[in-house]
């Protein structure tokens, strides 16, 4: 016999935990199901930063309350305790293969503004999970770990979820099971979505790197593999430590080779890694689909990355989780007191207006598309060599693309004069992303089953 609840939530990542907290605090009977046996353990690569702490993101402003040791969202009016260490990220610099730089902010300037100058905030995600889990349990939520949900059955007035030999029934289900969501797939939410590629990643926590600035986010691009490879370096909130991720959009780019280029071969990047020690290795493999436009059907509501193109980022996942939990709390209350329903419709409307319309997924994908368009090292080195002024301080994949667009406008006359053929390549950026990334999509066939 399935146990019955107002709400079943699948996935105890940032979105599922915030959904559980919101619904639990509103007095619903909630069960949170998670595949991992230890919810506080991070089993997948993540930069462990809060993106965009210096600007609106998903229509909200995230903040870290240093005195009160909490993380909060001003407009949505929620916060949660975080008692772990933090490290400000004071700029984001992207490097071309030879080391030419596209700087979003200069740390020597942003540092002067203290916490208000940060573009992002690095934290320890395992501590964040522990803090959130405590609040979820305090809110009266039943937490079941080690449950790998495999079946969902939607009925007229309830939904039944099964996995790992157990069954749970709820008036509603929130699917917060991430970018490779099985629930989205079995419930038919993936129909009509465009499949672009994977995001494949391997990386480690590292010590003793010799970086130009230890408190900024760094990215690099290589063409030394059959498909472009990327590197991201995220500060960690522990002295001398950072997280280094090597990524590619398709399996043609052997990630070991990408890593070797940056850490052992490139005359520019190699010195950063001369004394590096890896302390913990992590990896991840995710689908990149176009977003789900209608995130509710059959009593199932999607939250966080489950319905997203790739990532809402931790910041967006938390906001959408909180809002999804609140939406179901409203729906349950509406049902009980017998008033017209609008809680879920409001969430769907928010999803469309705030994510689908204001954060176009094509803009997110452009962050990875540049080396597919400028398809030689030489092109990218040249383009970056033209950048003389810093771009606005930013750690927001959607806003960054707007800044790069403006930068390009200013560079076009020079490029026109010096490398007119490059303009034709750059013009490809205005094509649909399915065309820009067609090579990556082909590189992903036949499609792998990702968990």
**Which residues of the chain form contacts with ligand FAD (CB under 6 A)?**
10-16, 33-36, 45-49, 51, 147-149, 163, 176-178, 182, 201, 234, 245, 284, 286, 304-305, 311-315, 317
Sheet architecture: strand order including 70-73: 62-65, 70-73, 78-81
69-97 exposure pattern, b = at least 16 Cβ within 10 A, e = fewer: eebbbeebebbbbbebebbbbbbbbbbbb
Q: Are 211 and 242 in contact (CB under 8 A)?
A: yes
At which residue do the structure tokens 């705030």 appear? 354
Whole-number minimum distance, CB 435 to ligand FAD, in Å? Answer: 25
The DSSP element (H or E) to which 105 belongs, if any, is none
Based on CB atoms, which residue is closest to ligand FAD, 11 or 117? Answer: 11
Based on CB atoms, which residue is closest to ligand FAD, 219 or 315? Answer: 315
Q: How far apart are CA 205 and CA 244, in angstroms?
A: 6
Whole-number minimum distance, CB 216 to ligand FAD, in Å? Answer: 13
Q: Given the DSSP bridges, would you call strands 101-104 and 217-222 parallel, antiparallel or unpaired?
A: unpaired
Based on CB atoms, which residue is closest to ligand FAD, 176 or 253? Answer: 176
Sheet architecture: strand order including 229-235: 101-104, 92-95, 217-222, 229-235, 241-248, 195-207, 277-289
CA distances, 264 to each of 260, 378, 440 (Å): 5, 20, 26
Whole-number minimum distance, CB 441 to ligand FAD, in Å? Answer: 19
Whole-number minimum distance, CB 235 to ligand FAD, in Å? Answer: 10
Based on CB atoms, which residue is closest to ligand FAD, 34 or 379? Answer: 34
Based on CB atoms, which residue is closest to ligand FAD, 147 or 187? Answer: 147
Based on CB atoms, which residue is closest to ligand FAD, 11 or 295? Answer: 11
Whole-number minimum distance, CB 400 to ligand FAD, in Å? Answer: 13
- Using DSSP's 3-state secondary structure scheme, residue 226 falls into coil
Cα atoms in the Cβ-side hemisphere of radius 13 Å centred on 249: 27
Whole-number minimum distance, CB 379 to ligand FAD, in Å? Answer: 26
Based on CB atoms, which residue is closest to ligand FAD, 148 or 362? Answer: 148
Q: How far apart are CA 132 and CA 321, in angstroms?
A: 12
- Using DSSP's 3-state secondary structure scheme, residue 182 falls into helix
Q: Are 14 and 321 in contact (CB under 8 A)?
A: yes
Based on CB atoms, which residue is closest to ligand FAD, 366 or 422? Answer: 366
For the chain, report the end-to-end CA distance as a whole number of angstroms. Answer: 28
Based on CB atoms, which residue is closest to ligand FAD, 129 or 272? Answer: 129
Whole-number minimum distance, CB 177 to ligand FAD, in Å? Answer: 4
Whole-number minimum distance, CB 46 to ligand FAD, in Å? Answer: 4
CA distances, 119 to each of 50, 94, 365 (Å): 9, 14, 20
Based on CB atoms, which residue is closest to ligand FAD, 322 or 384? Answer: 322
Nearest alpha-carbon partner for 204 in 228, 233, 178, 168: 233
Whole-number minimum distance, CB 182 to ligand FAD, in Å? Answer: 5
Q: Hey, what's the torsion of the CAs at 251, 205, 284, 128, to 10 degrees?
A: -160
Whole-number minimum distance, CB 397 to ligand FAD, in Å? Answer: 10
């Amino acid at each position: 016999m399935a146990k019955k609840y107002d709400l079943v939530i699948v996935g105890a990542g940032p979105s599922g935990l915030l959904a559980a907290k919101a619904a639990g605090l509103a007095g619903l009977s909630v069960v949170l199901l998670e595949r991992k046996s230890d919810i506080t353990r991070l089993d997948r690569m993540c930069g462990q930063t809060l993106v965009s702490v210096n600007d609106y993101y998903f229509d909200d402003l995230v903040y870290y309350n240093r005195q009160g040791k909490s993380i909060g969202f001003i407009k949505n009016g929620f916060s949660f305790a975080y008692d772990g260490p933090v490290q400000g990220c004071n700029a984001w610099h992207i490097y071309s293969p030879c080391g030419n730089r596209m700087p979003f902010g200069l740390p020597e300037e942003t540092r002067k503004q203290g916490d208000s100058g940060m573009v992002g905030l690095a934290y320890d995600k395992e501590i964040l999970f522990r803090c959130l889990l405590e609040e979820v349990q305090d809110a009266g939520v039943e937490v079941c770990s080690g449950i790998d949900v495999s079946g969902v059955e939607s009925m007229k007035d309830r939904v039944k979820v099964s996995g790992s030999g157990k069954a749970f029934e709820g008036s509603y289900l929130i699917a917060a099971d991430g970018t490779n969501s099985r629930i989205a797939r079995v419930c038919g939410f993936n129909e009509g979505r465009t499949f672009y590629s994977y995001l494949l990643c391997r990386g480690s926590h590292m010590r003793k790197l010799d970086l130009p600035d230890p408190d900024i986010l760094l990215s690099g691009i290589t063409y030394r593999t059959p498909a472009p490879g990327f590197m991201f370096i995220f500060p960690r909130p522990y002295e001398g430590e950072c997280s280094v991720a090597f990524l590619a959009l398709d399996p043609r780019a052997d990630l070991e080779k990408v890593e070797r280029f940056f850490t052992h071969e490139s005359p520019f990047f190699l010195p950063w890694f001369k004394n590096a020690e890896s302390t913990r290795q992590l990896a991840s493999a995710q689908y990149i689909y176009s977003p789900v436009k209608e995130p509710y059907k059959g009593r199932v509501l999607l939250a966080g990355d489950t319905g997203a193109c790739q990532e809402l980022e931790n910041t967006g996942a938390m906001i959408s989780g909180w809002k999804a939990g609140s939406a179901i709390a409203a729906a349950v209350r509406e049902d009980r007191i017998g008033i017209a329903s609008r809680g879920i419709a409001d969430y769907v409307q928010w999803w469309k207006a705030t994510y689908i319309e204001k954060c176009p997924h094509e803009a997110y994908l452009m962050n990875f598309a540049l080396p597919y368009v400028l398809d030689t090292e030489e092109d990218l080195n040249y383009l970056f060599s033209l950048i003389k002024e810093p771009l606005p301080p930013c750690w927001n994949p959607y806003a960054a693309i707007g800044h790069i667009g403006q930068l390009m406008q200013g560079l076009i006359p020079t490029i026109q004069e010096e490398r007119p053929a490059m303009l034709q390549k750059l013009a490809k950026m205005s094509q649909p992303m399915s065309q820009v990334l067609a090579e990556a999509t082909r590189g992903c066939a036949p499609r792998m089953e990702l968990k």
